[in-house]
Amino acid sequence: MALDEAILMQVAKEESPPTIRFYAWNAPTISIGYFQRIDRDIDSDKVRAHEFEIVRRMTGGRAVLHDRELTYSVMVPGDHPFAKSSVVESYRLLSLGLRKGFINLGVHAEVVSLAQESERAKFATLGSAACFDSPSWYELVVEGRKIAGSAQVRAHGGLLQHGALLLDLEPDDLFDVLLFRDDRERERIRAEFDVRAASVRQLTGRIVSYEEAAMAFANGFCDGLDAQLIPMNLTDQELAMAHTLLEQKYSQETWTRRR
C-alpha cells in the first residue's frame, strides 16, 4: 500500500511516468477500505487466529482477503485522460484492459454497466463487508459472477486505481473474519457469495501462476487501452517515499484503526 501511494505521488509530480504495477502478497492479508471501521466489520481475534495481516487502503470500498491473486495498480497524473474523465468513465476504460487480460487467460469476462437499472439490481450488495459483494460502476463478470474487485482514489494531484484479480478463491477464510449480526446472516450471505464471485481456477480448471497472470494482464492493458508498456524498476525516490509512508502511516495502528 505504501508503494502504491509513493508511486502515485511521484507520477503526479511527473517525476515518474504513468505506471501500471503488478504485485502479490507474501502473507494472506485483509485490506480494508479507507472509510471502513474495523470494530464494526472485522473480527480482530479471528484475524490473529488465522495469522493474517491487516492494512488500511487509501482507496475506498470494502474488505478484501489478498492471497491467491494478482494485484494491479494504475497511477496517472491529473492531466492524463483517465484522471480527466469521470470516476465512472475511468472505471470503464480501465475495465477494457482488465477484460483483455482475462481473455488472455482463457476467461471470457464481460464489462457490465451498472448504469442500467436491471444490472444494478442483479449485482446489488448482499449487505456484507466483503469487497466482492460490493458492486462498482463497471463490473467484470463471467456468467454473472464477479471476478475482479477494484477501488479508486483521486489524491496528490493524480489518480490511483488498484484491485484484486482472483486467480483462486477461498471465501471461507474471508467470511470467518468478517463480523455479522448473527450466524444466520453469515450463512445466508456466504451461500449467496458462491454464485456472485468466481476465480480463474474455478472457471478454467487450472492453476495460473503469478508470472503467467502478470504477462496476460500486461498484454491485456496494451491491447485494451492501446498503450505501450515499458518494463521499469522502482526508482530510488519511489522506494524512499514508500519507506517513509510505511514507517509513518501504513504500519501505524493510528492509521489502520483510525475509524
Catalytic residue set: 131
Q: How would you class 199 by CB atoms within 10 Å of its CB: exposed for 0-12, middle for 13-18, buried for 19 or more? A: buried
Q: What domains sit in the chain, N to C, each tagged with a CATH number?
A: 2-256 (3.30.930.10)
Angle (nearest 5°) at CA 172 between 169 and 178: 110
Q: How far apart are the first and last CA of the chain?
A: 18
Distance of CA 21 to the CA centre of its chain: 12
User: What distance in Å separates the CA atoms of residue 153 and residue 245, rounded to the nearest whole number?
Assistant: 17
- pLDDT tens-digit readout, 78-97: 999 999 999 989 999 999 99
C-alpha grid cell, residue 17: 511516468
Contact 98, 140 (CB under 8 A): yes
Residue 116's pLDDT band (boundaries 50, 70, 90)? low
β-pairing, 29-32 with 53-56? parallel
The 148-155 sheet, strands edge to edge:
19-23, 69-77, 158-166, 148-155
Predicted confidence (pLDDT) at residue 13 exceeds the cutoff of 90: yes
Q: What is the pLDDT of residues 155-189, one digit of tens each?
A: 999 999 999 999 998 888 888 999 988 888 888 88
| pTM reported for the whole predicted model | 0.89
